Amino acid sequence: MEMIELTVKDAVLQALEQARGTRLSGGRLAEQLGVSRAAVHKAIAALRESGLAIDAVTGEGYRLASDDDSLTAAGINALLDTAVIGREILVEPSLTSSNTTMKEQYLGRRHGFTLFAEEQTGGRGRLGRTFVSPADTGVYMTILLHPTLPLSHLSFVTISAAIAVVRAIEQTAGFTPQIKWVNDVLMNGRKLCGILTEATIEGETGTVSSLVVGIGINLHPNPAWPEEVQAVAGAISDFGKPPRRAELAAAVLNHFEDVYALLDQGKEPELLEQYRERLCCIDRPVTVISPAGRYEAECVGLDENAHLLVKTADGQVNALSSGEISIRL
């Protein structure tokens, strides 16, 4: 497994993260990391200066406070068990959009490179919508992929991300949201997460050279949300105890690698079954919103291409490959 090359500061943070809740002495840290105690002391001072809540007790050692909610590459890395996804991480304090920045600056990075933003000033969602992304209220990330998948399977990548988010929230917050086709993660009808997948196509061959998978998860509600956002948005804290951002971020990456592997292994039916069992719209009346207009229908299933099957009042069954639905609660 290829690991991130850590500075002494990052290595100290990783050790404290892995031992969160217990104390590590300066001597033990120095021995564990193969550095001097002076180097550990300097690293602790630098971490505190960057805002991390590290307390110390003479004779007992250092401890990263249990309520510390810092988001750092080393902190996330300490909680990863992936082989590729998230093994190279960059955390920026502010970006217009992690997807836009990824496409403009980082498409040459390796498969699995992940870019985090503490806040986004111009976050984007599907269909040109704005995704409001204030600091300290959510996790905003973009995963870079260089897939070996046929163009027809790209929608499965978005589905993989939605499943990963549901599993990560279930693991870290203790409740299980559902998915509204295509990729909205909901709890009691409130949207907790937005996912936007964008492809870069080679002009001459028409093949996909890279994919960027943007994921934004609301940990806490924000009073600055516009009124129209407050009407539909929810946050993890509305339904359970919100996890630390690093904990949630690592869980998403861990589960995404696990689910995405099903595509590489040709196990699309297994992936679709995981998706189908988390959909909240099966056997329910829906309003279909498509380029052709709006109409009422009943959601009756999912086909092998992840297209939603809806039955209209005259008994006709349509397979939706685009557009969106509204569920009547």
Task: Write out the binding residues for biotin.
Answer: 97-99, 120, 124-126, 191
* DSSP letters for 83-143: SSTTSSEEEES-BS-HHHHHHHH-TTSPTT-EEEES-BSS-B-GGG-B--B-TTSEEEEEE
Angle at 215 between CA 297 and CA 257, to 5 degrees: 100
- Residue 254 phi, psi (nearest 5): -60, -50
Greatest Cα pair distance, the chain, in angstroms, is: 77
Strand, helix or coil for residue 237 = helix
Strand, helix or coil for residue 178 = strand
* DSSP letters for 39-97: HHHHHHHHHHHTT--EEEETTTEEEE-TT-----HHHHHTT---SSTTSSEEEES-BS-
Measured CA to CA in angstroms, residue 183 lies from 21, 209, 215 at distances of 36, 23, 10
| Residue whose pair of structure tokens reads 């569920």 in the numeric block | 327
| Cis amide prior to 165 (ω within 30 degrees) | no
Measured CA to CA in angstroms, residue 40 lies from 8, 15, 16, 54, 285 at distances of 7, 11, 12, 13, 60
CA distance 214 to 196: 5
CB–CB of 122/97 below 8 Å? yes
Binding residues: 97-99, 120, 124-126, 191
CB–CB of 259/290 below 8 Å? no
